[in-house]
Amino acid sequence: MNNNLVTTDYVVFIIYFLVVSGYGYYIYRKREKNEHDAKAFFLAEGTLTWWAIGASLIASNISAEQFIGMSGEGFFLGIAVAAYEWIAAIALIIVAVWFIPVYLKNKIYTMPQFLKTRYNESVALIMAVFWLFLYVFVNLTSILYLGAVAINGLTGGDYLHVIMIGLAVFALIISLGGMKVVAYTDVIQVAVLIFGGLVTTYIALTVVGEKFGVGPNAIAGFNVLMDQAPEHFKMIIPKPTAASTQNEISKYLTFPGLASYVAGIWIINLNYWGCNQYITQRALGADIKTARTGILFAGILKLMMPLIVMLPGIAAYVLYKSGHLPQLIGGKDGAYSAILTFLPTGLKGLSVAALTAAIVASLAGKVNSISTIFTLDIYAKYFKKGTEEKNLVFVGRATVFVGMILAVLFTWNDLLGIGGAGGFTFIQKYTGFISPGVFAMFILGMFWKRTTGSAAIVGVLAGFLLSVFFNEMAPNLLGNDTLLYTAYPNGKGNFEIPFHICMGLSFFFTMAIMILISLTGPKINPKAFELDKSMFKVEPPTMALIVVTLLLIAALYVKFW
């Protein structure tokens, strides 16, 4: 067992690269007559099918931080981490039924445009600049860095910078063709990452079966996991007691049992799937039926993601605990790479292709959103009003190129310290502080006609400051045990409040502040959206998809509660 790739592995990877690039070029040539159509470039308006929207949502969402980070959390926490994926499926139902109709009825194409339409230009500009910085210096850099590190580890060589450039160039090839090329190549990308991920999971389970003497059988291997690590198959992590070990406390700090389901995990998912340009952009150019079906299709795909990105981590935990995984290095974040060493020749190439598919799809989707926000919400409004569409497309492509160059420069020697924090932690740290304020601003803006622009600005600032307060200062200033929270020792000499609880507290106080400020304004804000019940009416086929999704989630929670 080693990490080195052989000729067969490289051949498999090259075939994958040629298929994706060739298909992307084919899609680009098909839309060449609309080459200078800005809406076609940024939104692929009216041309995406429901399956392309759903696959693109998943391909853009799943990246190296999921393969590496969630597998690591599977190693540490177990199946509880699957809640991120399964609650996401419910969040996608909420977005499809209630959020998307508001966007489409009001012809919203970008999130800053939503804020300008509903609030004012100042809110829109502030958030546009914020999102650009966040997407370039947090998301792009962390995806690129973590992806390059993961693939470099699989090659067994010292090619980090070469791989980094290769990933950036591959993503650029796809991104420069516009949203339609990104979305339709994502269909291949998601097929590769699902197939490659399932193969890895199957191999991991058969290895477990072999090592524990029940034969190379995946189902038998899964039963061994449940027998050897029953605590890893419980969705709800118990609240610590005086007798709890530091390891048990650390698990609760990461995912605080039932308390997480009160607010934290909902804020994370609804903000990510419903108020995020990077994600919603795929559905904003479609009609309501296509958009809803695509989003619900993505929700069904989310249900199987833990099988791909979490279960190998549990397998690594059981193998490591029993002394069958000496190649594990780097703690929990090394779990997925250690499992990949069991893959035979050829399948390692497939695993590299699956990882690359996840990374490149995320990079392409993110840089396309950067291009859309900068071109439509900043350049076209403040630099060159009334510019022709041909120029907008040129600026969009230039922005794609500049954004990727900046990401490579800041990732080259890890200037931002992503390696020290860990990619998953790095993203959570810088996005989680702002999520409560942003989500409060969106949810009130959509569904409460009294919300004002002043309340929106105060809400974003308050959400951030409250997040900093509860995460960094509250235990020292207010004590470790209050009516609002309980802080626990984090093993580093300090006490901290579980992150999900911090998000919930920040969100609810932000909502209260925004409501109080809005109550001083008119009963109906002149910029409020017109809503009617017919917007939210769901057709029978859509309702059937919703019911199937909810039944599957209910079955999973009944099984693993």
* Residue 338 resides in a domain: yes
CATH number, domain of 386, equals 1.20.1730.10
Angle at Cα 70 formed by Cα 425 and Cα 138, nearest 5°?
A: 35
pLDDT given for residue 361 in this prediction: 79
404 in the same domain as 304: yes
89 in the same domain as 196: yes
**DSSP-derived secondary structure for 492-514:** SS-EE--HHHHHHHHHHHHHHHH
Q: How far apart are CA 267 and CA 87, in angstroms?
A: 11
Q: How far apart are CA 545 and CA 561, in angstroms?
A: 24
pLDDT given for residue 513 in this prediction: 97
Coil, helix or strand at residue 539? coil
Spatial CA neighbour of 42 closest among 393, 401, 362: 393
pLDDT given for residue 430 in this prediction: 66
**DSSP-derived secondary structure for 68-91:** IIIHHHHHHT-GGGGHHHHHHHHH
pLDDT given for residue 1 in this prediction: 44
495 in the same domain as 525: yes
298 in the same domain as 340: yes
Structurally, the chain folds into a number of domains equal to 2
Sequence-ordered list of residues with C-beta below 8 angstroms from that of 478, at least 6 positions apart, any chain: none
**pLDDT tens per residue across all 561 residues of the chain:** 455 677 888 888 888 888 888 877 787 777 655 555 566 666 655 667 898 888 888 877 877 667 777 888 888 888 998 998 999 999 999 999 999 999 998 888 888 889 999 999 888 888 888 888 888 887 888 888 877 877 777 776 677 888 889 888 888 887 777 767 777 777 787 888 888 889 889 999 999 999 998 888 899 999 999 999 999 999 999 999 888 899 889 889 888 989 989 888 899 899 989 998 877 877 887 889 999 999 999 999 999 999 888 999 999 999 999 888 887 766 777 788 788 888 887 777 887 788 788 788 788 888 888 888 888 888 888 887 767 777 888 888 888 889 899 988 888 877 666 655 445 555 666 677 888 999 999 999 999 999 999 999 999 999 999 999 998 899 999 999 999 999 999 888 889 999 889 999 999 999 999 999 999 999 999 999 988 888 899 999 999 999 999 999 999 999 998
The DSSP code for 82 is G
Q: How far apart are CA 401 and CA 168, in angstroms?
A: 10
Identity of the residue numbered 168: A
Three-state SS annotation for 418-481: HHHHCHHHHHHHHHHCCHHHHHHHHHHHHHCCCCCHHHHHHHHHHHHHHHHHHHHHHHHHHCCE
Structure tokens at 390: 């041909």
508 in the same domain as 410: no
Structure tokens at 253: 């700090």
* Residue 38 resides in a domain: no
216 in the same domain as 193: yes
* Residue 386 resides in a domain: yes
Range of the domain at 471: 433-530
* Residue 535 resides in a domain: no
448 in the same domain as 342: no
Taking the alpha carbons at both ends of the chain, their separation in whole angstroms is 36
Do the Cβ atoms of 34 and 191 come closer than 8 Å?
no
Q: How far apart are CA 136 and CA 40, in angstroms?
A: 23
520 in the same domain as 551: no
Do the Cβ atoms of 144 and 382 come closer than 8 Å?
no
* Residue 374 resides in a domain: yes
pLDDT given for residue 421 in this prediction: 46
389 in the same domain as 256: yes
Please state the separation of Cα 141 from the chain's center in Å: 14
Spatial CA neighbour of 163 closest among 145, 175, 136: 145
How many CA within 13 A on the CB side of residue 127?
32
Q: How far apart are CA 185 and CA 446, in angstroms?
A: 33
* Residue 171 resides in a domain: yes
SS3 content of the chain, % helix, strand, coil (to 5): 75, 0, 25
Please state the separation of Cα 343 from the chain's center in Å: 27
Identity of the residue numbered 42: F
Q: How far apart are CA 472 and CA 495, in angstroms?
A: 9
Cβ neighbours around 67 below 10 Å, total: 29
pTM as predicted: 0.87
**DSSP-assigned beta bridge partners for residue 481:** 486
186 in the same domain as 71: yes
Three-state SS annotation for 169-232: HHHHHHHCCCHHHHHHHHHHHHHHHHHHHHHHHHHHHHHHHHHCCCCCCHHHHHHHHHHHCHHH
* Residue 524 resides in a domain: yes
Phi, psi of 30 (to 5 degrees): -65, -30
* Residue 421 resides in a domain: no
Please state the separation of Cα 318 from the chain's center in Å: 27
Handedness of CA 297, 298, 302, 305 (dihedral sign): positive
Q: How far apart are CA 354 and CA 331, in angstroms?
A: 23
408 in the same domain as 440: no
* 488-489/495-496 β-pairing: antiparallel
144 in the same domain as 99: yes
How many CA within 13 A on the CB side of residue 343?
29
Three-state SS annotation for 314-338: HHHHHHHHCCCCCCCCCHHHHHHHH
Report the residue count for the chain. Answer: 561
pLDDT given for residue 542 in this prediction: 92
Structure tokens at 187: 């269909």
Spatial CA neighbour of 284 closest among 99, 442, 441, 431: 99
